[in-house]
Every structure is written in structure tokens, then in C-alpha cells.
Amino acid sequence: MSHAEVRRAGDAPMKLDLVEGETYCWCACGRSSTQPLCDGSHQGTGLDPVVFVARKSETVWLCTCKQSEHAPMCDGSHKKQSKKSA
């Protein structure tokens, strides 16, 4: 099944304080108005959020460029993408 194009939602990661045992849904499509978390805007796109449970309470940086190879965590891909478009 084909899916819609992933949209770049930002040019820098977003800080999020995770709570141990809580479930989070990271927006993988780039359409959510509640970045970096999913708001259901992916419906009908063929794309799904990345669902994960926090293993511990900690502060993390979640990807908004949607190109991270370690999604949902930022791996610096936004820096590479910015240089390509410059």
C-alpha cells in the first residue's frame, strides 16, 4: 500500500519530559498540530505514529524533521537536511 508523503514539521528537535510507564505517540507524518506528538492527523495517509512507553522519567529531544534514523529521538538529521536545502 502506498502512503502520503512525510512532511517536515520543524528544523530542530523538541524537548519533552517523559514519565516512566507512560505511553507516547510520536507524529511520524509531520501533519500533527501538537508536534512532536500525534493528534490523529495521519488518518487516511497510510502513515502511522510511533508508539512507545517511557522506560524511565527523563528529558528527551524528539525529532521534528521526520528524517531521524532513531525515531522518535533526534539524531541530528535536521542539520543535514538544512545544509542540503541551503
| Each residue's pLDDT tens digit, 15-59 | 999 999 999 999 999 999 999 999 999 999 999 999 999 999 999
Q: What is the pLDDT of residue 66?
A: 96
* 45: alpha, beta or left? (left if phi > 0; alpha if psi -120 to 50): alpha
The residues spanned by each domain of the chain are 14-85
Burial category of 69 from C-beta neighbours within 10 Å (exposed 0-12, middle 13-18, buried 19 and up): exposed
Q: In what helix (H) or strand (E) does residue 52 lie, and over which residues does it extend?
A: strand 50-53
Tell me the β-bridge partners of 60.
16
Distance (Å, rounded) from C-alpha 30 to C-alpha 32?
6
Distance (Å, rounded) from C-alpha 80 to C-alpha 26?
21
